[in-house]
């Protein structure tokens, strides 16, 4: 579908895909560092760029039942985290529409 460039972020601290360096999010967009993913430490981000979202699925997590979808790097297709579509528990609602990126799959880029 034509030549499309990735979105390039311009903050001073940018997280990119470990495999291909594609920009994914800004350090300033981190909402919480207190998450864990399949590869250990993970961060909750307000927004991410250059990702593809998979179909939504229901998943039981330590904080309860959620509807989530995996997100993968648009460039190298590697799965880098997930997005919360819906949280069933009231205290978890703040995560809806937000993204998890796994620290192990990120690298600092410029």
Partner 1 sequence: MRIENSGVSSQGSAGNGTSSSVKSVETNGNGVASSVRNGSAKPDTGSNSSSFTMLAPPTPKPSYFGHDREEITRIAIQSLVDLGYHRAAAVLEEESEYTLESPEVSEFRTAVLKGQWSKAEELLFGLEINKDYDVNTLLFYMRQQKFLELLEAREVSKALQVLRTELTPLNQSVEKLHSLSSLMMCLDAEDLKSWAGWDGAAGLSRQHLLSELSSKWTPKIPLNVKQAQISKCLYHNTANSPSLYSDHKCDRNQFPLATVQVLKDHSDEVWFVQFSNDGTRLATSSKDNTVIIWDLEGFEPIHIFKEHLNHVTCVKWSPDDTRLLSCSTDTKAKLWDTRTGECIRTLAAHTDWVSSCAWAPDGLTFVTGSVDREMILWDLDGRDIHRWAGSRIYDLVITPDGQRLAAICTQQKLHVYNFVTREKEYELSLDCELTCISVSKDSRHLLINMSPGEQEAHLPDIETGEVVLLDIETAEVIRRFSGQKQRKYMIRNCFGGADENFVVSGSEDSNVYIWHKENGTLVETLPGHAGMVNCVAWNPANPHMFASAGDDHDVRMWAYDFPNDPPLPNMLRRR
Binding site for Zn ion (CB under 5 A): 17, 19-20, 22, 73, 75-76
- Compute the distance between CA of residue 10 and CA of residue 53 in angstroms, rounded to an integer: 23
Distances (CA, A) of 3 to 6, 20, 22, 35, 53: 10, 18, 16, 36, 20
Three-class secondary structure of residue 93 per DSSP: helix
Q: How many CB atoms lie within 10 A of CB 77?
A: 12
Please identify, among the stretches 3-11, 37-45, 85-93, 94-102, the one whose residues bind partner 1 according to the rule CB under 8 A. Answer: 3-11
Contact partner at residue 73 from partner 1, Zn ion, none, CB < 5 to 8 Å by partner kind: Zn ion
Please identify, among the stretches 1-9, 53-61, 82-90, 100-108, the one whose residues bind partner 1 according to the rule CB under 8 A. Answer: 1-9
Please give the residues from 6 up to 65 whose contact with partner 1 meets the rule CB under 8 A. Answer: 6, 8, 10, 21
- Total interface residues for partner 1 by CB under 8 A: 10
Three-class secondary structure of residue 106 per DSSP: strand
- For residue 2, state whether it binds partner 1 (rule: CB under 8 A): yes
- For residue 86, state whether it binds partner 1 (rule: CB under 8 A): no
């Amino acid at each position: 579908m034509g030549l499309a460039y990735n979105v390039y972020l311009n903050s001073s601290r940018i997280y990119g895909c470990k495999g291909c360096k594609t920009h994914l999010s800004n350090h300033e967009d981190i909402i919480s560092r207190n998450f864990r993913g399949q590869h250990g430490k993970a961060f909750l981000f307000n927004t991410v760029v250059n990702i593809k979202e998979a179909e939504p699925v229901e998943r039981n997590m330590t904080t309860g039942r959620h509807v989530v979808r995996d997100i993968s790097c648009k460039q190298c297709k590697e799965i880098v985290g997930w997005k919360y579509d819906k949280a069933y528990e009231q205290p978890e609602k703040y995560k809806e529409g937000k993204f998890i990126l796994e620290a192990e799959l990120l690298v600092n880029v410029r």
